[in-house]
Amino acid sequence: MLTGVQVVLAGGDARQLEVIRRLTEQDASITICGFDRLETSFPGVVRAEWQPSVLRQADALVLPPVGTDDDGTISAIFTERELKLTDDFMDALPKSCKIYCGLAKTYLRKLAEKHHIKLVELFERDDVAIYNSIPTAEGAVMMAIQNTDITIHGSNCIVLGLGRTGLTLARTLQGLGAKVKTGVRGEDLFARAYEMGFEPFYVPDLARQTGNIDLLFNTIPNMIITAQVIAGLPLRAVIIDLASKPGGTDFRFAEKRGIKALLAPSLPGIVAPKTAGRIIANGLIQMLLEDDRQRGNAT
């Protein structure tokens, strides 16, 4: 149990509601900011304005899965007020406090480093990332169905990146009867893709692999679907970019050429917020329990 652990949860989307519920079940002391438009009631949870004083007793600051944007703004769909994480807020945090998010951008990493606050990226944990790949893959398939006039079964697909998300997506597409090529970087992943029945190729060869593709999925957070690659795609092709913003696609050139290209980060929060929230909450609770045990051992 998390009795006595002070958690401040700032902003977020529907996934955070499940996080709040699970933390409540663990008897954590919870303060939420950026939820003034939320009608759901959480007994025992304190609602507060986003101001530095809220953080002075915090053991954990929980941010949305996306952390903050490039100027410190915290995404918060349940309020019209702006939430920003700035130096004043960081100064208010106890040095023993940890900040938790899904993945952090450069702004948040530098801010935490500057103030000597531990930053924990939950999606860097293999278990959380693998569980989270399930709703991501389902959401990608949903988008493919919505934006094409063909079935997934029998379609020609490419999945770029065979990491935790790419592997789940490739297997899902294969299970639906698609013909799946996978773009990989290492010889070990090439061998694994071959063993699993995919048609592997190395990422630098991407432009030579796209001539008959219906669906191109990207999970690599670098500019990889360039103008040269897009120029070789058939006009019927649809690009679904799952990488974090700004993605890995030249969206300007795709639009110019008439290729439908969709940036689709944070799919779990859109297609399955309760499941995605539970995944985040389970990983978060495990880490908070470990921190609490360490504090207890120290005393």
Average pLDDT estimate for 116-137: 96
In this predicted structure, the answer to whether residue 40 has a pLDDT above a threshold of 90 is no
The SS3 assignment for 193 reads: helix
pLDDT band at 294 (very low <50, low <70, confident <90, very high): confident
Rg (CA), the chain: 21
* Burial readout 158-169 (b: 16 or more C-beta within 10 A, e: otherwise): bbbbbbbbbbbb
* Mean residue pLDDT across the chain: 95
Bridge partners of 46? 31
pLDDT band at 102 (very low <50, low <70, confident <90, very high): very high
CA distance 64 to 252: 29
In this predicted structure, the answer to whether residue 297 has a pLDDT above a threshold of 60 is no
Query: Tens digits of per-residue pLDDT, 248-266?
Result: 999 999 999 999 999 998 8
Query: Tens digits of per-residue pLDDT, 137-194?
Result: 999 999 999 999 999 999 999 999 999 999 999 999 999 999 999 999 999 999 999 9
Q: What is the pLDDT of residue 80?
A: 94
CA distance 291 to 174: 41
DSSP per-residue string spanning 225-291: B-HHHHHTS-TT-EEEE-SSTT-SB-HHHHHHHT-EEEE-TTHHHHH-HHHHHHHHHHHHHHHHHHH
Domains and CATH numbers, the chain: 6-124+272-298 (3.40.50.720), 128-265 (3.40.50.720)
In this predicted structure, the answer to whether residue 298 has a pLDDT above a threshold of 50 is no
pTM of the model: 0.89
Contacts of 203 (CB under 8 A, 6+ apart): 160, 183, 184, 185, 220, 224
pLDDT band at 299 (very low <50, low <70, confident <90, very high): very low
Average pLDDT estimate for 31-54: 94
